[in-house]
Amino acid sequence: MKRQVVCGFIVQWLTDYCNQIDAEGYGFVVGISGGIDSALTSTLCALTGKNTLLLNLPIRQKKEEYERGSKHIAQLCNRFANCSELEIDLTDVFNHLEKTLPVKVKDHGLSMANTRARLRMTTLYAVAQANKCLVVGTGNKIEDFGVGFFTKYGDGGVDISPIADLTKSQVFQLAEHLGVIPDILNAPPTDGLWEDGRVDEDQLGATYPELEWAMEFKDDENLLTPRQKDVLAIYRKFNAMNLHKMSPIPVCMLPKQVKN
């Protein structure tokens, strides 16, 4: 992969998209998690020269995740005059919402993890609309189109997706090329939605390189090793389970004889 060429293409794509919407051009809002995807996405947005608002939205955040995000924001604001920072601590809002929910909901770990993502999405859009900005997605190819590893109407609720055609491995390559801080480059990928700090591999049961291999696999399954068979099964399980996230919303199309 020609890193400079790819980065330049994405930066131009972001610029052109904004200019098509408005002659003066919209800006960007990016939620910063302390992870590699949001770090790369926000850097690409900053390189456009357009207003780039970096939001830090902690909700009972692990200290190391929060500090990585804060360091990245500080670095970008120091490098690019068009970047600005906004921190909105949503912990109290989340706590209050949690208290109002039925026990069955608040005790459901995945439901509450996804609620965090949806609360952040709501905040991102509120800030974006008030600042004439687009909400920029940070999902990569394997997450958005392979295993569906994102929250529907949470981090999946965005206006544009500049890195959704990049594998996780490519995201790391471009982030290193663009000077993302070592703290983020060396951190294990995590969605930051769990208080126990579990990483993506814990939740998926496979590494991103393994899942990228499974996404492209088209050969004879009889030739696979036991681990490769396990990874392929993991990929197919998540792909089938999360297809509703990755496909357009089903619409009940009524035939004429039913409508009339």
Transcribe 155-211 into DSSP letters: TT--SB-TTTTS-HHHHHHHHHHTT--HHHHTSPP--S--TT---HHHHHSS-HHHH
- CA separation for the pair 44, 207 (Å, rounded): 25
**What is the domain class of 3-195 according to CATH?**
alpha beta
pLDDT digits over 1-31, tens only? 799 999 999 999 999 999 888 756 789 999 9
Paired strand residues for 54 = 30, 85
Residue with tokens 């999360």: 242
Confidence (pLDDT) at 23: 54
pLDDT recorded at residue 259: 84
Which residues of the chain fall below pLDDT 50? none
pLDDT for 88 equals 97
The residues spanned by each domain of the chain are 3-195
Distance CA 38, CA 155 (A): 11
What digits encode the pLDDT tens for the residues 208-251? 999 999 999 999 999 999 999 999 999 999 999 999 999 999 99
CB-CB contact of 49 with 43 (8 Å): no
Q: What is the pLDDT of residue 220?
A: 92
Q: What pLDDT does 260 receive?
A: 80
Distance (Å, whole) CA 260 – CA 255: 9
The reported pLDDT for the residue numbered 24 is: 65
The pTM of this model reads 0.93
Distance of alpha carbon 28 from alpha carbon 18, whole angstroms? 9
